[in-house]
Amino acid sequence: MRILKTLTFALAFVLFAAMGAQAQSGYSTGIGLRGGAASGLTVKHFIKSDAAIEGILSTSFKYRGTALTVLYEKHAPAFNAAGLQWYYGIGSHVGFWEGRHYYDRGHDHYHDDVVGVGIDGILGLEYYIRDIPFTIGADIKPYINIPRGGGFWDTALHVRYAF
């Protein structure tokens, strides 16, 4: 739990330290919901006109756990459409799962609580609706857990309030 608090504080510090950046898409910070296999809260803040830091606090009902993911993302215009952006990036995660609901490569962790750290990637498409102001998007986020092994990918849709 101490690791989760430290990472949350570090993410908040990075986001508030770079509050002046304005993105190519017209907003600097977005806060919202991410829906997928691992659903939760998402915060994206632009630190340069084409680069952002995204934090995702997610839960998985199937494995009864929580994970914190921090990603560095690069953005580029997509299809010459105003407000439409491709983004890709890399980051890491730390997660905590109840062992009786966690299954990993043929190993049942029934009596264990599982802590996992790993490396994440992301590739997505986002549209900024300036009039509302919200963003909607879809992404694929592959990840690999380092100590326990195992690689997976998560697809998700998100919606964020942008300011």
Q: Locate all alpha helices (DSSP H) within 80-135, ordered by sequence.
A: none
Q: Which residues of the chain have pLDDT under 70?
A: 1-25, 61-63, 99-112, 147-151
* Residue whose C-alpha is closest to residue 128's, from 74, 82, 89, 87: 82
Give 60's contacts (C-beta < 8 A, 6+ positions apart): 37, 38, 39, 67, 97
Nearest to 55 by CA among 47, 43, 67: 43
Question: Tokens at residue 23, please?
Answer: 């993105």
Radius of gyration of the chain (CA): 16
Q: What is the pLDDT of residue 98?
A: 72
Which pLDDT does position 107 carry in this prediction?
61
Q: What angle do CA 42, 92, 60 make, to 5 degrees?
A: 55
Fold of the domain spanning 2-162: Porin (2.40.160)
- Residue ranges covered by each domain of the chain: 2-162
pTM of the predicted protein model: 0.78
Question: Which of 16, 10, 32 has the alpha carbon at shortest distance from 134?
Answer: 32
pLDDT for the residue numbered 26: 78
Tell me, what DSSP letter sits at residue 99? G
- What is the structure's pLDDT at 22? 42
Token pair in block for residue 162: 């942008």
- Amino acid 65: pLDDT: 82
